[in-house]
Amino acid sequence: MKGTYNVDNKGYYGEFGGAYIPEMMYSNIEELRSKYINICSEESFKKEFDELLKDYVGRPTPLYFAKRLSEKYNTKIYLKREDLCHTGAHKINNTIGQILLAKRLGKTRIIAETGAGQHGVATATVCALMGIECIIYMGEIDISRQAPNVARMKMLGAEVRPATSGSKTLKDATNEAIRDWINNPIDTHYIIGSVVGPHPYPDMVARFQSVIGNEVMNQLEILEGTKDPNYVIACVGGGSNAAGLFYPYLDNQKVKIICVEAAGKGIRSGKSAATSILGKEGIIHGSKTLLMQSKDGQITEPYSISAGLDYPGVGPMHANLYRSNRGEFHSIDDSEAMQWGLNLSRLEGIIPAIETSHAFAILDKKEFKKSDVLVFNCSGRGDKDLDTYIDYFKLK
Ligand SMILES: *Cc1c(COP(=O)(O)O)cnc(C)c1O
């Protein structure tokens, strides 16, 4: 479909997206696809969603003018403070939306996959809130790397099931979750944590996260007298915090879109997660998108110092933003991102998640005008990354 960067009625963003699923999963996906828009448009759904976002998550999150950062880079920089959300990142916006949807579909059991554990924690949180059984699949290696988040999930009453196949990380946990769903199609809903997976997930998650961009429009109008910044900027793992910020601006060409991916140890190092730049068309977890793969089509293991960015694919919305040049893509390596964790801490008193730090590093890569208004999505807080920061900068 020409003229829009949003999803079309078949679940595609340009040539990307769709639902490439095994026969056995068809009924689960079809139930969701045929019902999600109607359920999300019900007045009672919108009321419950909005109330929980307000009183439980703490929305609207502030749009903060970063004065010292703006002075240093001689441009106008605003931070959308998703780091102030309950549980410390934007992921909770999506899990609240999906748990309300699951309840209306009559589901009594929730499953989810998690890599670093952030989505697992956000899912365990909403299951506790609703008193619903919660099973989180997590790679065996990630379980040992991410002990504090495993403890949080258990504290919240979730069962954490190790994925012991393959590389024992996120992609394997996702495969286990899909297998579970196929075996439990009636009572179970699968909460995917980013704008990835088969249609309707990318669109559904983007809609739940669009509260970020919609709030920015209202806040910027009061602060700057216009709803439109010159740039919206976000880090991209699967792409959900970025999709949430970009959503109301997708088809507004006056607002430029910048996506920042993780280059890991460098784009050409073989240890990277710069999926759009390195990726080729392929199918991962039910979606046609750009993904890192070997010549014979095997998925390559991604790497980034930030566990939230090392997914081998990217959501189909972002693949299309890349292919169509609607979005400008940059990749930032581990050391640049780590330095920006320190910069933002010392310039603004905000310790960002390492994922988030990647986005700020573009200030050293690109010139902006004094009159430009930049909105960065401050996707999450750095508490979970303190040990990594401390080791890296030898602050102990
Ligand atoms: C999970 C996570 C990300 C990456 O996921 P997206 O779906 O690309 O947003 C980015 N920042 C933080 C703080 C995260 O927890």
Q: What is the pLDDT of residues 5-15, one digit of tens each?
A: 999 999 999 99
Q: Which atom of ligand 1 is nearest to the CA of 243?
A: 9
**From the CB of 356, is ligand 1 less than 6 Å away?**
yes
Give the pLDDT band of residue 61 (cuts 50, 70, 90): very high
Q: Is residue 10 part of a domain?
A: no
Q: Which atom of ligand 1 is nearest to the CA of 236?
A: 8
Q: In terms of domains, do 197 and 95 share one?
A: yes
- Taking CA atoms, 298 is separated from 278, 294, 301, in Å, by 14, 5, 9
Q: Is residue 169 part of a domain?
A: yes
Question: Which whole number is the average pLDDT over 106-123?
Answer: 96
Is the entire prediction scored with pTM above 0.75?
A: yes
Cis status of the peptide bond prior to 185, with omega within 30 of 0: no
Average pLDDT, the chain: 96
Q: In terms of domains, do 217 and 355 share one?
A: yes
State the first-to-last Cα distance of the chain, in angstroms, to the nearest integer: 55
Which of 146-150, 204-208, 354-358 is predicted with the least confidence, judged by mean pLDDT?
146-150
How far, in Å, from the CA of 23 to the mean position of ligand 1? 31
Provide the domain limits for residue 77.
59-88+210-393
Q: Is residue 137 part of a domain?
A: yes
Number of domains into which the chain is organized:
2
Q: In terms of domains, do 83 and 115 share one?
A: no
Question: Which whole number is the average pLDDT over 138-159?
Answer: 94
**From the CB of 91, is ligand 1 less than 6 Å away?**
yes
Q: In terms of domains, do 290 and 263 share one?
A: yes
Question: The domain spanning residue 67 has which CATH number?
Answer: 3.40.50.1100
Question: Which whole number is the average pLDDT over 161-175?
Answer: 91
Structure tokens at 376: 């960065």
Task: Give the Cα separation of 301 and 50 in Å (integer).
Answer: 38
Task: Give the Cα separation of 350 and 304 in Å (integer).
Answer: 22
Q: In terms of domains, do 258 and 158 share one?
A: no
How far, in Å, from the CA of 357 to the mean position of ligand 1? 11
User: Ligand 1, atom 13: nearest CA belongs to which residue?
Assistant: 380
Q: In terms of domains, do 241 and 385 share one?
A: yes
Inform me whether the pLDDT recorded for 255 exceeds 70. Answer: yes
Give the pLDDT band of residue 1 (cuts 50, 70, 90): very low
Question: Which whole number is the average pLDDT over 126-135?
Answer: 98
Q: In terms of domains, do 78 and 140 share one?
A: no
Q: In terms of domains, do 108 and 178 share one?
A: yes
Q: Is residue 13 part of a domain?
A: no
Q: Which of 178, 204, 230 is the last residue of a domain?
A: 204
Structure tokens at 140: 């065996």
Residues carrying an active site annotation: 91, 113, 379
Q: Mutate which of 79, 87, 91 to test ligand 1's pocket (most atoms within 8 Å of Cβ)? A: 91
Q: In terms of domains, do 280 and 369 share one?
A: yes
Inform me whether the pLDDT recorded for 137 exceeds 80. Answer: yes
Q: In terms of domains, do 74 and 188 share one?
A: no
**From the CB of 320, is ligand 1 less than 6 Å away?**
no
Structure tokens at 287: 């979606």
Q: Which atom of ligand 1 is nearest to the CA of 116?
A: 1
Strand, helix or coil at 157? coil
Which of 7-11, 143-147, 267-271 is predicted with the least confidence, judged by mean pLDDT?
143-147
Give the pLDDT band of residue 2 (cuts 50, 70, 90): low
Question: Which whole number is the average pLDDT over 225-243?
Answer: 98
- Taking CA atoms, 163 is separated from 137, 143, 160, in Å, by 6, 9, 10
Cis status of the peptide bond prior to 352, with omega within 30 of 0: no
How far, in Å, from the CA of 11 to the mean position of ligand 1? 23
Q: Mutate which of 241, 259, 321, 376 to test ligand 1's pocket (most atoms within 8 Å of Cβ)? A: 241
Question: Which whole number is the average pLDDT over 341-351?
Answer: 98
User: Ligand 1, atom 2: nearest CA belongs to which residue?
Assistant: 308
User: Ligand 1, atom 10: nearest CA belongs to which residue?
Assistant: 355
How much of the chain exceeds pLDDT 90, in percent?
91
Q: In terms of domains, do 163 and 190 share one?
A: yes
